[in-house]
């Protein structure tokens, strides 16, 4: 290697929108973790050569997908097809502009979709790595009405704060590579404001083992990066 991943710069993100989640502490918790755990031959302990399909779900400005594509340009053994999706068309447009700004135009495959609802069948059983920074806080109410705007998609995970995450895990198995020796990892963010035990119990029931791999404290909460693997691994 001719550079250190730990000092590899984040992408330039100049295109933003008031309705699109801008990179924040949870975003950089993910990037910092990848800086520490991606090596010239391994992705968090798993062979880089086995990472062939990678998905950044809820891509927002595109920073995670673009970062990993720029990193792939530097690592000989890391050449996955990178996909990025978002529920907001505005986010997809924003991410594409940032992709062009970082000279990776046309290298990331974008999908406008609510979770996996609009994913083509050809992507089933493909992904080795999925990264999801979901909306992870409980919905707010005022006079019995839930707050809901385009921007709320970035933080409101449902009444309990984890409904969107559970819906994601209910759908994700169809899109993970099921081969016995394949890499199949999911990275997702949660908050200490949401009941961790309920999430773990539901994910275990769906066939996943989960572990906390990084954490940062921001104001009134801990933001937690978790890694899920299939129980068969």
- pLDDT for 1: 46
Total domain count for the chain? 1
- pLDDT for 138: 58
Whether 19 maps to a domain, the answer reads no
Whether 101 maps to a domain, the answer reads yes
E strands of the chain, at which residues?
42-43, 46-47, 53-57, 81-86, 108-112, 129-132, 141-142, 145-146, 185-191, 208-218, 221-230
Q: What is the pTM of this model?
A: 0.89
- pLDDT for 205: 94
Query: What distance in Å separates the CA atoms of residue 141 and residue 40, rounded to the nearest whole number?
Result: 48
Whether 202 maps to a domain, the answer reads yes
74-105: pLDDT as tens digits: 999 999 999 999 999 999 999 999 999 999 99
Banded model confidence at residue 160, pLDDT cuts 50, 70, 90: low
Domain range for residue 101? 42-158+169-230
Whether 26 maps to a domain, the answer reads no
Residue 93: strand, helix, or coil? helix
34-82: pLDDT as tens digits: 999 999 999 999 999 999 999 999 999 999 999 999 999 999 999 999 9
- pLDDT for 143: 42
161-198: pLDDT as tens digits: 688 999 999 999 999 999 988 899 999 999 888 888 98
Whether 37 maps to a domain, the answer reads no
- pLDDT for 19: 87
CATH number of the domain that 179 lies in? 3.40.50.150
Whether 46 maps to a domain, the answer reads yes
Whether 36 maps to a domain, the answer reads no
Contact 227, 186 (CB under 8 A): yes
Average the pLDDT over 204-213 and give the result: 95
Place of tokens 């000279």: 103
105-144: pLDDT as tens digits: 999 999 999 999 999 999 999 999 999 999 865 555 544 4
Whether 15 maps to a domain, the answer reads no
Is 60 exceeded by the pLDDT of residue 150?
Answer: no
């Amino acid at each position: 290697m001719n550079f250190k991943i730990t000092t590899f710069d984040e992408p330039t993100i100049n295109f933003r929108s008031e309705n699109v989640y801008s990179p924040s502490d949870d975003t950089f918790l993910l990037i910092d973790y990848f800086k520490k755990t991606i090596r010239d031959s391994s992705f968090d302990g798993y062979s880089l050569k086995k990472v062939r399909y990678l998905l950044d779900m809820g891509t927002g400005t595109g920073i995670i997908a673009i970062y990993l594509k720029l990193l792939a340009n530097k690592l000989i053994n890391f050449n996955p097809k990178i996909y990025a999706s978002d529920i907001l068309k505005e986010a997809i447009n924003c991410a594409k502009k940032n992709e062009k700004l970082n000279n990776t135009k046309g290298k990331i495959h974008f999908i406008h979709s609510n979770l996996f609802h609009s994913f083509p069948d050809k992507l089933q059983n493909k992904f080795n790595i999925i990264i999801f920074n979901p909306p992870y806080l409980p919905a707010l109410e005022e006079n019995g009405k839930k707050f809901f705007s385009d921007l709320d998609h970035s933080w409101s995970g449902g009444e309990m704060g984890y409904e969107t995450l559970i819906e994601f895990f209910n759908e994700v198995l169809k899109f993970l590579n099921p081969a016995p020796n394949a890499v199949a990892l999911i990275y997702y963010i949660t908050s200490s404001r949401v009941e961790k035990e309920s999430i773990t119990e539901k994910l275990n029931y769906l066939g996943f083992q989960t572990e906390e791999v990084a954490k940062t404290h921001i104001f009134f909460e801990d933001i937690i990066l978790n890694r899920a693997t299939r129980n068969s691994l």
